[in-house]
Amino acid sequence: MNFIDVNQQISNFLNHFPHLSDEEKLTFLHFNQFHQHRPIDEILEIYVQNPDARVLKTVGEWQHFSNESFSDFHSKEGVKIWDNNGNLKEVLYDASQVILNTEISIPSSINEEPLLFIELASQVDKKISEVQNISKEQKSLANHLALYNLFDYLGFFLDNETEYEHFILITIKSIKKIPSGERLLKVLSLANSCSSSLTYSTYPR
């Protein structure tokens, strides 16, 4: 897809979001969690091009993990990221497309840390309560989405199916209130900004 096609797909996705099924919305939120450290515009660009992407890097970055050549990468279909003027910024490739010569280190779960759970929830509430020019309902929604990012990222509830299902039910109830268009971008951007700052400071990638 080119810049125009991608932006049209993003516009369609944002406007149609309230009409997606609960499962489709959760699928997007799970995808968003993997990329929460990126600007929301880039996350959407990635999603409409490759919704299965998880670990994305440039060719230069993958050179540290793979013996594949530049020509090998250029034969693959990468995810394109543009600036606001439609100029190509970079092309990213997902780990699933790369022949790795080493394992990528993945942090272990810290879901057995109840005090961290409570502290993160408190920090999220504090950060979002300080934000101005956003409605109370949107703050509440951003708060829960930030918690979803954090809990999904850090692996909370992995050993307790009942608590996990309860949290997902609350999440589904919350995402029914997610607006469309620019308001959706505003809520997601706030949630990601909050959760990504906490994951960096608490347990960096």
Judgement on whether residues 34 and 110 belong to the same structural domain of the protein:
yes
Rounded Cα distance between 10 and 36, Å, is 17
pLDDT value at position 203? 41
Query: Would the pLDDT of 104 be above 80?
Result: no
Helices vs. strands in the chain: H and E counts, helices first: 9, 3
CB atoms within 10 A of CB 100: 12
Judgement on whether residues 188 and 122 belong to the same structural domain of the protein:
yes
Average of per-residue pLDDT across 94-101:
86
Which tens digit of pLDDT belongs to each residue from 11-39? 999 999 989 999 999 999 999 999 999 99
Query: Would the pLDDT of 194 be above 80?
Result: yes
Q: How sure is the predictor about 106, in pLDDT bands with cuts at 50, 70 and 90?
A: very low
Judgement on whether residues 155 and 127 belong to the same structural domain of the protein:
yes
pLDDT value at position 192? 94
For residue 112, count CB atoms less than 10 angstroms from its CB and return exposed for 0-12, middle for 13-18, buried for 19 or more.
exposed
The pTM score is 0.79
Six-digit token pair at 158?
């992995």
Which range of residues forms the domain containing residue 91? 56-97
| CA 134 to chain centroid | 21
Please give the tally of structural domains in the chain: 2
Which among 45, 79, 97 is the end of a domain?
97
> Is residue 52 within 8 Å of 94, Cβ to Cβ?
yes
Give start and end residues of each alpha helix (H) in 17-132. Answer: 22-34, 40-49, 59-62, 70-74, 114-129
Average of per-residue pLDDT across 174-190:
85
pLDDT value at position 202? 45
> Is residue 52 within 8 Å of 59, Cβ to Cβ?
no
Judgement on whether residues 18 and 43 belong to the same structural domain of the protein:
yes
Which among 97, 125, 150 is the end of a domain?
97
Which tens digit of pLDDT belongs to each residue from 150-160? 888 877 766 67
Judgement on whether residues 21 and 77 belong to the same structural domain of the protein:
no
Judgement on whether residues 9 and 34 belong to the same structural domain of the protein:
yes
